Amino acid sequence: MTLAFIAVIAGLALLVWSADRFVDGAAATARHFGMPALLIGMVVVGFGTSAPEMVVSALAASQGNPGIALGNAYGSNITNIALILGLTAVIAPIAVHSQILRKELPLLTLVTVLAAWQLWDGTVTRLEAIILLVVFAGLMGWTIVQGMRQKDDPLGSEMEQELNASPMPLNRSLLWLIVGLVLLIISSRILVWGAVEIARGFGVTDLIIGLTIIAVGTSLPELASSIIATRKGEHDLALGNVLGSNLFNTLAVVGIAGVIHPMSVGPEVFWRDIMVMAALTLSLFVIGYGFRGQGRVNRFEGAALIAAYIAYTAYLVTTAF
């Protein structure tokens, strides 16, 4: 059991570090091959920050651990809204602009409804997984086209500044790209093995481990980037990072895992985890619209989100034992 705990801690640390190296190498490599800064920010960095969830869930599904695969994806969504957005708002209140209320939040809500419909019978078939990936590809294409049409897009400008601030030679960027990807896979295997052993040792399902320990660990890149963005006053990036990550987890992470191996889970995933995820998503509408002037996630609302996460996690732990 001690070795399993060491494996989880070491696996998470290596996973987060390797994901950061992978993103740096991929972004610099894309820049060398002439990809626009906006596309690097939307595609390369977007995929990279969600790489931990994607690799962990894919490996878990291939090894016949659907609880870890789905728990990691949906648990990360819950963690992103309740814990990460809550902590970020407590540090510095987050302004919610009208574009997020008109586009991103309704889109995430529809995707959450799709996830609920999909898991109504407790299974993710290969066909359903393919549907998720097709929807994801369509959304990515639409988002890229919309972004390229806009002049002076803030994400593209910020990405341009970051790439110019620390230019990386091509050979070094390729090295970090390869090393980051290899370590991502190795650390994910270590993490999944440790999580399964802990679940067996305590007699709990691998779903609980996926929803808690692994979900928090794989969401650390989003936590770091959201806090940094908020402290810089870039509220759109902080909130957009969370919403974009949730879209990626629900569509791409679950879709890739389901294509690799169809999954079957208990009814509690729908009635407990999907419903909590949906409630938190809808709560952002209430918070975002506000009651006086421009909507914002203030410190009180951030604390309420954190309290909701603590209550949810406590319920998971108490019912597991």
User: What is the Cα–Cα distance from 49 to 219, expressed in whole angstroms?
Assistant: 9
Full set of structural domains in the chain with CATH: 2-320 (1.20.1420.30)
Q: Average the pLDDT over each of 25-34, 54-63, 72-81, 143-152 and give the range with the smallest value.
A: 143-152
Encoded tokens for 20: 């950061």
Are 44 and 30 in contact by the 8 Å Cβ rule? The answer is yes
Q: Average the pLDDT over each of 3-7, 82-86, 241-245 and give the range with the smallest value.
A: 241-245
**Any bridge partners for residue 296, and if so which?**
95
- Percent residues over pLDDT 90 in the chain: 23
**Predicted confidence (pLDDT) per residue in 22-67, tens digit:** 777 777 777 777 666 556 655 666 666 677 888 889 988 988 888 8
CB atoms within 10 A of CB 134: 12
**Predicted confidence (pLDDT) per residue in 236-260, tens digit:** 667 777 888 888 899 999 999 999 9
pTM for this predicted structure:
0.83
User: What is the Cα–Cα distance from 135 to 133, expressed in whole angstroms?
Assistant: 5
Q: Average the pLDDT over each of 1-15, 24-38, 69-83, 201-215 and give the range with the smallest value.
A: 24-38
Encoded tokens for 304: 């309420």
User: What is the Cα–Cα distance from 305 to 282, expressed in whole angstroms?
Assistant: 12
Taking residues 100-121, what's their average pLDDT? 85
Q: Is 283 exposed, middle or buried (0-12, 13-18, 19+ CB in 10 A)?
A: middle
Torsion sign across C-alpha atoms 184, 116, 86, 208: negative
